[in-house]
Structure 1
């Protein structure tokens, strides 16, 4: 799992914690994907895992599988370029690990991740491949809200 940082408004920010990181933190931890020693991650629930990653992991697929590749490209080449894209990405990277963590605590987590894969990941990948980016964005955003209400409230 790679460290979820990004460059935004002339500074680095941690997508997992929602906190800004200075260059020292970035060069020491983020750039090298060094979760275990990162002071931002210590003491937090550090699954470091997001919905699509958890779903493909449950299916036994690798981190460079087609689904993750398509959705990562979508994030970087579509969502990030929207006016509110970077903010929306940061919000997702704050809430998604919490959703994944809540699901992983359940006995039926594997079936839940498989259902999310079928209801969210697979349809979004198909939409993106057909050029239906707005629809994929809307579906992903709505499903994350549903999951948040279902597992975090």
Structure 2
């Protein structure tokens, strides 16, 4: 059986198309596709490739990648607004569709680059440098920190997942290079590599009951840095662990009761301050230092200690 490379017109996933079949199903999105149309697409692509071998065409696509990829990050205004269960899917798909030609341009660059890894690193470093300039242009320290936090979130839940959704190994190299260069530039940050499917599955209807109650007591808003960091940790790292879903499920089973009982006590504020000092603040510091496994132990200890204290 002979195969040719084709691209799903719906999700842009790269497919190995058997020439002796009439129809196939895209392994990425489930779309039913006609082999004849995919092979025709492949023939057209081959002729286009011949044109793209001209240096001017290569430079054009490289310029598109260098100019537009940083904008994919920096032009997402307030990334938390759409990072909600009922809005994330639609917003993500809008970004993906709007930038599909950008991803194709970067793919073309990779096809003709003498050194793919070096070229991807060049594009990644350019993104990091542009983001750094944007942050440095902000005069106030607090606003700088907020902008970096926004970029961290945008990178984790929009930019990297958009790149990974393209289903091309070369672009996955780009995602790795971006995360590598970002960590080099901002060593205290902890941006994980996660795809759209896993993030979308990670949304849960229930809130971080105890964490929210503690942050409210400390005068921190629902979208404060600490809550955002802990939620991202829960939905990404913790959910990906073998026992993560079990820990989270147990937490949600007991957390509402714990909060209700603490709220009835006259010293509830003191209790929440103690929870912050003994558990949540250490968790935040561990996440910032990329010590996620240690954070998991502290998180689990908090659940067990509070359960023993307030659920018996």
Q: TM-score range, shorter-chain basis? A: 0.5 to 0.7
2:292 to 129, 133, 136: 133
* Structure 1 pair 82–49 and aligned structure 2 pair: CA distance change class (3 A): closer
Query: Structure 1: how far apart are the matches of 2:222 and 2:253?
Result: 20
Q: Which runs of 5+ in 1 are unaligned?
A: 4-10, 17-47
Runs of 4+ deviating beyond 6 Å: none
Query: Structure 1: how far apart are the matches of 2:306 and 2:273?
Result: 14
1:111 to 267, 270, 276: 270
Q: C-alpha displacement at 1:84, in angstroms?
A: 2.1
TM-score, reference length from structure 1: 0.67
Q: Which residue of 2 aligns with 1:32?
A: none
| Aligned alpha-carbon RMSD (Å) | 2.5
Q: Which residue of 1 aligns with 2:220?
A: 61
Query: Structure 2: how far apart are the matches of 1:132 and 1:51?
Result: 22
Query: Structure 2: how far apart are the matches of 1:87 and 1:15?
Result: 16
Query: Structure 1: how far apart are the matches of 2:302 and 2:205?
Result: 19
Could you list the per-position Cα deviations for residues 74-133 of structure 1 after superposition, in whole angstroms to 9, with x for gaps in the alignment? 011100111222222111111111111110010000110011111111110000110111
1:122 to 267, 276, 281: 281
Query: Structure 1: how far apart are the matches of 2:286 and 2:208?
Result: 23
Could you list the per-position Cα deviations for residues 27-56 of structure 1 after superposition, in whole angstroms to 9, with x for gaps in the alignment? xxxxxxxxxxxxxxxxxxxxx661110100
Asked if 2 retains the 8 angstrom alpha-carbon contact of 1:70 and 1:125, the reply is yes
Answer with 1 or 2: which has the greater Rg: 2
Q: Hey, which of these two has a bigger chunk of helix by percent? A: 2
Q: Which residue of 2 aligns with 1:80?
A: 239
TM-score, reference length from structure 2: 0.34
In the alignment of these two chains, the number of paired residues is 115
Structure with more contact order per residue of length (Cα contacts < 8 Å, sep ≥ 6):
1
